[in-house]
Chains A and B, each alone.
Chain A
Amino acid sequence: MTAAGTAAPDRAAAPDAGVDRAPLARRRRNRMLVQVACLAITAFMAAPMYLITLAAFSTRESLNAFPKSFAPADVSTETLRSFLGATGVVPSFLNSLVVGLLTLVLSVAIGTPAGYALARHVFAGRDAYQLFLLFTRALPIVVLSVPLARFFITAGLSDTVLAVALLHTALALPTTVLITASIFTAVPRDLEEAALVFGCTRASAFRQVVAPLALPGIAAASLFTFVLSWNEVLGAAVLTLTNRTLPAQVLGSLQWSPLPYRFAGGFALLVPALIFIFVMRRYLLNMWGTTLR
């Protein structure tokens, strides 16, 4: 986008002297306001991240100092190192990774066929089904967690990574289904029909034509699922005691942990999510149905 404030060339004596320039000025002003709004929102999101990062790389002394400076004064990895060395941090990091990957695999395996059906078939109750999917997100996780914990205890799954992954899959499925549905809608039906005419079965048409075209979008959807699982804390905290995921671990030890530990924990949670979003930013656009490829 071009800068809103770019001055127009001086045309005082130009032949368009009689032209009403008010609409142009209004457009420029509106464009500038949009820019200002974008900057404000970005700052709102970025400021906490910056502060956490700053704190995570500061020494204990400068953290306690007052007033604090916004520029990095004394960079040190001491805080981070002590966080990583703390009990339970590395195992919970691995747990988070396993839960995230399990959630990703499960939700793609279950959600993609549902998304495909929504995109390609007209069936009784299709609209109701779509609405119902969103309703599942209306239940607070806390309300879900207690009966789930009870159920997992009976099923012998309590305090396992699998239990958390199952919960996260249930939480992620609505978005996975709706996102993959929009991705499959974007794959032209003609291509699938051409594959059928040229010798494919329904299954091989999907494999040969639909899947390769939908793959970037599905990858984006699954990364989204991963981030969702990575950041989910309430359910994970209720369902596990010893096999905690990283957010649950950090949350669980918040009350009695020192200030530097909290900032380092926040930073450790922030970075993977940021990396994933950075990797998938190209796909985010087509995830919302703008374009395919």
Chain B
Amino acid sequence: MAEVEISQLHKTYPGGGRPATRDVSLTVADGEFMVLLGPSGCGKTTLLRMIAGLELPDRGSVRIGGRDVTYRAPRERNLSMVFQSYAVFPHKKVADNIGFGLAMRKADRAVIQDKIAWAAGLLQLEDYLDRYPSQLSGGQRQRVAVARAIVMEPDVLLMDEPLSNLDALLRLQFRAELKKLLTDLGTTCVYVTHDQVEALSLGERVAVMKDGEIVQCGPPMEVYDSPASEFIGGFIGSPPMNFLDATLRRDGGEAVIEVAGQRSAAPGSWAAFAEGPVRIGVRAETITAHRAERSGALRAVTEVAEPLGSTTLVTAVLGEQRIKVQVPPDFPVGAGDDLWLDLRADRLSCYERDTGRVLVSDR
């Protein structure tokens, strides 16, 4: 187990115009589960491959456990990896697949057997050790890939979208298993995904990437609740965060926001911001909807209501802007109904209109 320190990693693929990663720096603490999240082409896989040594950076450094490994071969880094395609060797039996890394290290036969048995037990593969990968289902192959990675007792475990080739139900089940397994093992882990649900549910910290840069890095709930930019708020969460054009005003020392000619309370700390046009970020589930008029609530008209089982998702029109609101499933609402929306001031985020960057006050 070890800490991973990435410093100013820059990489442009030959023939590629834009850099895949731009001077990325990131520190993953010993035993931490770090998720790299971003849309495709954001450089998250390139970053992971540079940690693995499968790709070499143009400049910058990678240190694992304090040791510089930037230009070392993958096998000199004491890490293991789970590939998106599983990359289970088709010509080797499950047991030989799991023991492959140890055999390459010329470990003792008895030790290898013990380790294989241990990993197979953890991943419920005992019955399949004598089979070839082609005789296994996708989920079982993924288990083999994970078993092969953990028997190495690596300093760092790298995972490149390991769940994306599984069907939805299996993914849900294996996600929980993976989290428990990796928490128990306590290995430092860097996990790449484009699935924001996976990122939120697995990571101790989530690093959101865009265009080769890390745009926000923090605990999942912090990234979810206070996205650092409109891009992050729109990328994370389902439904994505609502963004409303609003005007920030001060009314006798108190900050208020004005949306479509209506006023709503703003957090007290916003009084420090300059008055003027802003964008307000608000999560669908932090809005309370009422059918009767209420002071301080914004009046909107229901456009459509979608029952989702556990909740109902209402799309309402506020002035000329659309807003998604999550209401209880038994909330009586239909298209055309008037709604009064109560935005909880403490759950709002404020963004610059031009840049989409969050405004923070030193409270």
Q: Which residues of A are in contact with B by a Cβ distance under 8 Å?
A: 122, 188, 190-191, 193-201, 204, 208-209, 212-213, 293
Interfacial chain B residues near A200, Cβ < 8 Å: 75, 104
Are the CB atoms of B80 and A196 closer together than 8 Å?
no
Determine chain B's interface SS by DSSP, over half rule. Answer: loop
A55–B69 Cα gap in the complex (Å)?
73
Task: Give the residue of A122, A188, A191, A198 whose beta carbon is less than 8 angstroms from that of B152.
Answer: A198
A197 touches B52 (CB 8 A): yes
Which one of B14, B80, B81, B91 contacts A213 once the chains associate, using CB atoms below 8 Å?
Answer: B91
B75 touches A196 (CB 8 A): yes
Chain A residue at smallest Cβ distance from B84? A190
Which residues in window 81-121 of B have CB below 8 A to A? 81, 83-85, 87, 89-91, 100-101, 104-105
Cα A48 to Cα B14 with chains together (Å): 55
A195 to B74, CA, bound (A): 9
Residues of A within 8 A of B105 (CB): 199
Chain A residues with Cβ below 8 Å from B91 are: 209, 212-213
A102 CA / B172 CA spacing, docked (Å): 57
Shortest C-beta distance, A124 to chain B (Å), equals 10
Among residues of B, the one whose C-beta sits closest to the C-beta of A209 is B89
A194, B83: Cβ atoms closer than 8 Å: yes
Which of chain B's residues have a CB closer than 8 A to the CB of A196? Answer: 53-54, 73-75
- Taking a contact as CB atoms under 8 Å apart, the answer to whether B90 and A194 are in contact is no
Cα A194 to Cα B105 with chains together (Å): 14
Which residue of A is nearest B86, CB measured? A190
Does B1 count as interface, using CB distance less than 8 angstroms? no
B79 adjacent to chain A (CB < 8 Å): yes
Given contacts A191-B87, A191-B89, A212-B91, contact A197 B14 (CB under 8 A): no
Query: In whole angstroms, what is the CA distance A208 to B14 when docked?
Result: 29
Contacts of B83 in A (CB 8 A): 190, 193-194
B165 nearest CB across to chain A (Å): 12
CA of A122 to CA of B14 in the docked complex: distance in angstroms? 10
Q: Does residue B148 face the partner (Cβ distance < 8 Å to A)?
A: yes
Contact A194-B73, Cβ < 8 Å, known A199-B104, A200-B104, A204-B104? no
Find chain B residues with CB under 8 A from A191 CB. Answer: 87, 89-90
Q: Is the CB of A198 within 8 A of B100?
A: yes
